[in-house]
Structure 1
């Protein structure tokens, strides 16, 4: 049986009866009378008279009657309709669902009730109403401590919906801040769940929270460190464990192969962490965490994304995740940590190869077809950048900055190796120069000085192609 089957179409007799009695909800064919019956049944299920005490009865409470489940699932589907959602709101259905969530032990029933509220919250008026009910919000946030993955998924979906509404987002951020245990629950989900759908949705919630409120992000970064410091340690010199980063990494590994969008979300969370010093330290200060982060991201850009046998247009699908990955790698690279995984020569050439390939593909994606219709050309001129060009520009800027940082530390030996292995061919160097100039002119000039010592002919050819460099050197 489907988890949320669509309601069957009403019979002809039901249609006629509903129309005759004015029983329809708004402009729909759904019956008010039928909906009242379902909601009344819900109230009865959690009423004190039906409270059970024996262990057998408690087991029954964990199960949901099939007929009742089908009816509530119909309400779940119906609640996607605004007329139905408004009618449920008018009938105080959120209070009924709050009672169910507070009293029921049935996972399936709890999941459905949160799911209905999630559908209702998609409509602004109802979302504001739900968000203004402090008791209901507290009950919903408490659902994040649930052990049932489907309930956690629906709770996360509802939270993301509310956080995406500008009128109420700050209210939810503040309530989450007031409940520190939510941090532990979310970390636990990210670090231990194998449910990809749940991991993606929880990741979207964390990403939205960090994007909305830097203060909360800092609190969560420090929370893991404080907890680690509070624990007895044999070695007082041991670095604190910043829990948020390992949890994000574990979730990213879980979603990596099954959900590219989910991986994009978790890479963006890491990127947001690197926008503050504490976040960078959370990654690099613990050697194991820094190594795990670097190895995962290095593997993504060098062995998975934008490979040499991929068509250049693939960059359009990967531009946002690549921007996040390169941004985090660049932050780690520039952090001046002397770790084995950052040893010069081991990582520089593969990264140069990947970065230049991305820049080459960016140029390809930004080229307009020669036979473009004039109207399209005019339309392009009217706007500075299309949405696609905007994200490509971000990726290009991040790639150029990272590439310039690598170029600054290249040694004669590394350049020699790059020439032999092909990462620093004339074509690739030309592409790098085209993108780095004129903003990173000093970096390019220093690179050319070393290149002259290794391959004077190539250096001369590059100077011929970039006259401004020849004049300055």
Structure 2
């Protein structure tokens, strides 16, 4: 023989094929992954073509194969590959259509693992999938599964905070805000964990010398972005911030001197005093702005109560513009009531129920405004004369405030 023999053709092909078929630097097979995802689509299709509307069982063999993907998705290369080839769309579609609790749980787990890495989480969030995620969290039959996965994956909090702090995509910020607001509304313990996470760096953060992003400051940063662009998005973030003030951990975080609470106070004062209920607005504007006002004033009242009275925002010259805005809210409410009294009542039970719901929200705003205003007036002894003249000449205060003012000898 004048040359070495050629290597076995089938072995050479296998080696090249294995290299091409591998996902990144892993030994996981792209072909097997595609085949399993195809089987996943077939499973949910078979479920929905059946006559039964009840829960379905997942075959053991299929469960084992899908659980392998669940484990594989913890690898960064696999998570990136799954996201690159739109596996998230498949998983979310299956979750929306599945009638098998175990199948739903596995898909939630895979999706949760994909979202563990900042790059894939950001990519996943920058499209309509986030809206479907929010829909799944909102569904009572699967929300507990989603919440459990979110609790287990501590990186979800930092990933969402990163988006809120760094993104300029208004649609993305609104969707992320809706998701965070929904999670807080559903799970108070999760909210407590996320609130305290910013002051407790993870091991990875310690190694990299970085501090985890704070939820409250992230919500504030996103709210600033949405202030002039999306009133609806701003309302979502203000509601999430209001939820933070319903727990002790949230109040403690906001009460830290020089922290997020001070910046939040300044921002909300600007929103209330500069954006809402301006002097040249008609009284009807109160109906349009009541949601923003009730959230903003509720947070401001908590901040005022928990902050040091010597703080900058407790000084009279800082509070007077806010007092003026709250007086205007009460004035507009009175004028709106007078003008509404001359209108015919809506016909039909459905419209009456809608009107009653609107009145409840407006009543909550007036109650919040009155109580907050009463607290401020109690402390503003230096401007007693100014307030007395304003009250007597304009009659802006509702009857509910008079006992408090008399008790504190302000009038």
Scaled by the length of structure 1, the TM-score of the pair is 0.64
CA contact (8 A) 1:359 1:431 kept: yes
Aligned to 2:396: 431
Q: In 1, Cα distance between the equivalents of 2:332 and 2:274?
A: 16
Whether 1:330 aligns to 2:301 is: yes
CA contact (8 A) 1:273 1:280 kept: yes
Aligned to 2:340: 368
1:197 to 171, 175, 184: 171
Q: In 2, Cα distance between the equivalents of 1:359 and 1:309?
A: 15
Alignment of 1:209-220 (within 5 A): 209-220=183-194
Residues 382, 291 of structure 1: CA spacing in aligned structure 2 closer, same or farther, 3 A cutoff? closer
Whether 1:225 aligns to 2:199 is: yes
CA contact (8 A) 1:218 1:278 kept: yes
1:406 to 376, 383, 407: 376
Aligned to 2:7: none
Q: In 2, Cα distance between the equivalents of 1:157 and 1:117?
A: 14
Whether 1:147 aligns to 2:119 is: yes
Q: In 2, Cα distance between the equivalents of 1:258 and 1:320?
A: 17
Residues 302, 316 of structure 1: CA spacing in aligned structure 2 closer, same or farther, 3 A cutoff? same
Q: In 2, Cα distance between the equivalents of 1:146 and 1:370?
A: 57
TM-superposed deviation, 1:163:
1.3
TM-superposed deviation, 1:218:
0.8
Q: In 2, Cα distance between the equivalents of 1:160 and 1:130?
A: 19
Structure 1, unaligned stretches of length 5 or more?
1-46, 56-60, 62-78, 233-239, 452-473
Whether 1:273 aligns to 2:247 is: no
Q: In 1, Cα distance between the equivalents of 2:92 and 2:23?
A: 32
Q: In 2, Cα distance between the equivalents of 1:327 and 1:290?
A: 13
Residues 288, 54 of structure 1: CA spacing in aligned structure 2 closer, same or farther, 3 A cutoff? closer
Residues 390, 341 of structure 1: CA spacing in aligned structure 2 closer, same or farther, 3 A cutoff? same
Q: In 2, Cα distance between the equivalents of 1:122 and 1:199?
A: 23
Residues 107, 431 of structure 1: CA spacing in aligned structure 2 closer, same or farther, 3 A cutoff? farther
CA contact (8 A) 1:118 1:161 kept: no
Residues 231, 403 of structure 1: CA spacing in aligned structure 2 closer, same or farther, 3 A cutoff? farther
2:290 to 301, 319, 323: 319
Q: Deviations over 1:399-452 (max 9, x none)?
A: 1111111121121x32344578xx65621xx221x2xx34x44312146x434x
Moved more, 112-121 or 397-406: 112-121
Whether 1:255 aligns to 2:226 is: yes
Q: Deviations over 1:176-212 (max 9, x none)?
A: 1111121121122212222222211111111111111
Scaled by the length of structure 2, the TM-score of the pair is 0.73
Residues 408, 122 of structure 1: CA spacing in aligned structure 2 closer, same or farther, 3 A cutoff? farther
CA contact (8 A) 1:117 1:158 kept: no
